[in-house]
A and B are shown apart, each in its own frame.
Chain A
């Protein structure tokens, strides 16, 4: 079974995010990048499916100049092949990314395309359904469970809604899935193996040329004002507990007590 995973990097939220002088983009100098969390779930699911039904996992990432380590990590986790697609000065919007991935996929066998259901910077929508639209493939997002049908031509997935409600779908392959979570936590990629692979592994290259247009014009970016900030309680734990208990009593929410 040919499984293809689409991955990208996003800013690490552990860092403070700042706006650049133009006011329409993040200040990128100090940004550290990490693999988008949901893409890691997508990769883990792809590996799990491959280990169950056989086949190969190919990882694609758009070449923004910083993806080698991420792709080496995919190999360290067990992916069979990794390919850098296109060439981009800065991370493209989702629509442009989808066109690039779709162009690459047209030249690669694919039974199941997996990507994270969303990413923290998906201003113009999620890559999964956009790729599906480009390739006219069925897709389901917010997927929490994947199993492949016995003939390898269909898959059964669960889509998660609020309140723990889950819908089960059967879909024809090839298809695109937006993965919400993986059945096991993404497996660890030991540093020594990643470093080894960075030196020795082959990272494929696919040239694509697509129009860059996300359809949106960014007017401004800002750090949100905390609308109505909390009244902060000072002091040590005892003082905090005292004050909270007092507030609760004032509001009639605490029962009696000392």
Chain B
């Protein structure tokens, strides 16, 4: 921290004797100050941040503290935009500060901030500068490189992106092979395509779409990552590169709507692709299925207590809380119980904003992982008498929460399932 300049009050004006309308306000009662400094710190650091496109709102903070109780990282450490504002006001350079990488851009602070200080804008702006200077945590650098080379953060071969379809049990058409327009282009996403638990959801989705007679197809190996989390982690150039590739592919085909599994992809297509040249109807899969829920033929009840985790990028940041719940409530047997932190006050799983790829780094700065904290809340909600289900609607979450179930010693109390898996399960004939 820099040496702070001494605050000097220039002039004190005071009348030893003053009586106004018979009221004696002599001496200190009428003391006034001239040219009082209202900022005591050099402004260069803050000027630098607010000079970045997207960095402007950091200056607005007046330290009211409403963000403190809602920031998920604050619950497990000492964090929040308020703290960052103070650091920058005091001249700190965030580029060398681990605090730069702890924010998941969950948006809960922005929701309550009276001055609309918005980390979803200033975080990627500042992080981009860190990336340009090569100051990237090593874990994240590896992921950026994977995204560039193979179009997915896991470094899996691009060619194998649709390999999961082999075990889906139903045909999953590639739009390039169909040679005709489709109603629904289903954008499968990275983790849904490659991660074992993601592939479970992918296959379930394929079966549900088929059972509903939806006219759908996928891009297959042509699909590239939405790159939204990479953008929020500071690689705007990489996001644009991926978007260019995806847009070129999308323009080859005709379809009515884009349905996505991943709220991060939802965010990218809905809010950031238009400025890069693509616009269309985008639906999260829960939004697509909710209106069709009455057509789903449920054959086996799921007699369990279920709680739903609102993904930050579907719920709070894009306003969709109801469609997932409508789907869950339609499944026979399910008893839906809300966690204390739900809907707009949902508690982040820690995966957003690049957090998915910073677990090693973040672990050194927090008392426990956000996903562990959330799992505890879920267990307290539905896992106390027998096994409960934590239902999710984002492909980042099954692996995060399943790891957390184990690491918090809650094996057996909580099962993690994507909503689509529960629907698929309930559509199967009862086990004999």
The interface of chain A, by Cβ under 8 A from chain B, is 12, 14-16, 30, 32, 34, 185, 187-188, 190-195
Bound complex: CA A79 to CA B35 (Å) = 52
**Does B241 contact A187, Cβ atoms closer than 8 Å?**
no
**Does B235 contact A190, Cβ atoms closer than 8 Å?**
yes
Q: Could you say which residues of chain A place their CB within 8 Å of the CB of B157?
A: 14-16
**Does A192 contact B149, Cβ atoms closer than 8 Å?**
no
**Does A190 contact B155, Cβ atoms closer than 8 Å?**
no
Q: Mark B238-260, 1 if CB is under 8 A from A, else 0.
A: 10110000000000000000000
Q: B409 contacts the other chain (Cβ, under 8 Å)?
A: no
Q: B57 contacts the other chain (Cβ, under 8 Å)?
A: no
Bound complex: CA A1 to CA B118 (Å) = 48
Cβ contact of A190, chosen from B138, B149, B158, B237, cutoff 8 A = B237
**Does B136 contact A188, Cβ atoms closer than 8 Å?**
yes
- Given A14-B155, A16-B157, do A188 and B150 touch, yes or no (CB 8 Å)? no
Q: Could you say which residues of chain A place their CB within 8 Å of the CB of B236?
A: 192
Which residue of B is nearest A12, CB measured? B149
Q: Mark B137-169, 1 if CB is under 8 A from A, else 0.
A: 010010010001110000111110000000000
Q: Could you say which residues of chain B place their CB within 8 Å of the CB of A16?
A: 157, 159
Bound complex: CA A196 to CA B149 (Å) = 18
**Does A14 contact B149, Cβ atoms closer than 8 Å?**
yes
**Nearest CB in chain A: distance from B390 CB, A:** 20
Greatest chain A CB density within 10 A among B148, B155, B236 is at B148
Bound complex: CA A239 to CA B241 (Å) = 44
Cβ contact of B241, chosen from A12, A15, A185, A191, cutoff 8 A = A191
Cβ contact of B235, chosen from A12, A187, A191, cutoff 8 A = A191
Bound complex: CA A193 to CA B237 (Å) = 8
**Does B144 contact A32, Cβ atoms closer than 8 Å?**
no
Which residue of A is nearest B144, CB measured? A188
Q: B134 contacts the other chain (Cβ, under 8 Å)?
A: yes
Q: Could you say which residues of chain B place their CB within 8 Å of the CB of A191?
A: 144, 148, 235, 237-238, 240-241
Q: Could you say which residues of chain B place their CB within 8 Å of the CB of A15?
A: 157, 159
- Given A15-B157, A188-B131, A188-B136, do A32 and B150 touch, yes or no (CB 8 Å)? yes
Which residue of B is nearest A30, CB measured? B159
Which residue of A is nearest B138, CB measured? A185
